[in-house]
A and B are shown apart, each in its own frame.
Chain A
């Protein structure tokens, strides 16, 4: 699996969510609501013999606005929903990808993140990726 291709394909799939600005890298300037595909902690090689498959866990951040803003809460709720047109889990898992075989959004955590010196209410989604070793 090519890391850059994996990150970009995830961003392209997130871009299909209406109104969401998706970046395939940790951008330093965003216009919320925005999704940023971050780098994985690492890649686990050799899940099977003969370079059959590798795995990685890719974090995806979705930033929506000020943490004290009620509208931001409502917006983030739709992205963190397990189903729905804006559900990050549903949209990512429904995608057709070439850089990897399968993905699963296994969880989400919430925090205030700083991007370009601006604080945003955000969700960090954990995306489990499995793809070919060669």
Chain B
């Protein structure tokens, strides 16, 4: 067993590397379970159905033009974009999730006593492909 710290996580959205502006991200995957229980049994029986999920990320606002989170994300609302997630960081053999997702939300918060923060929400569209990095 080897624990993995979150600080090495890499996240790229629409081919833009947002890693250095991101402080938290989460992928949540789910699958449907259909009730196919027939008569004469004592226990429910379920069959697997469609898979789906969401992806969220947030971090610290940065003024960097083009590659900053605002510039990279704000125009993607309701658009399906490719996302790459490397939960153990970059390196040969380390896992990588690749998927398309529709950006369903983008937020910026401006607390008076802290840095400007941003967050984005995505709904996964299609399959999540998990492969080891080359």
Q: A106-B113, A130-B115 are in contact. Are A49 and B60 (CB under 8 A)?
A: no
Interface size class of A (residues with CB under 8 A): 10 to 19
Hey, which chain A residues are within 8 Å of B23, CB to CB? 47-49
Q: Which residues of A contact B11 (CB under 8 A)?
A: 49
> Are A50 and B115 closer than 8 Å at their CB atoms?
no
- The answer to whether B113 touches A48, judged by C-beta atoms less than 8 angstroms apart, is no
Q: Is B6 an interface residue (CB 8 A)?
A: yes
Q: Are A52 and B22 in contact (CB under 8 A)?
A: yes
Interface residues on B, range: 10 to 19
Q: In terms of DSSP, what is the predominant structure of the interface of chain A?
A: mixed
A31 → chain B closest CB, angstroms: 35
Q: Give Cα A48 to B59, complex, Å.
A: 7
Interface residues of B in 86-134 (CB under 8 A from A): 89, 113, 115
B binding-site residues for A, Cβ under 8 Å: 6-11, 19-23, 59-60, 89, 113, 115
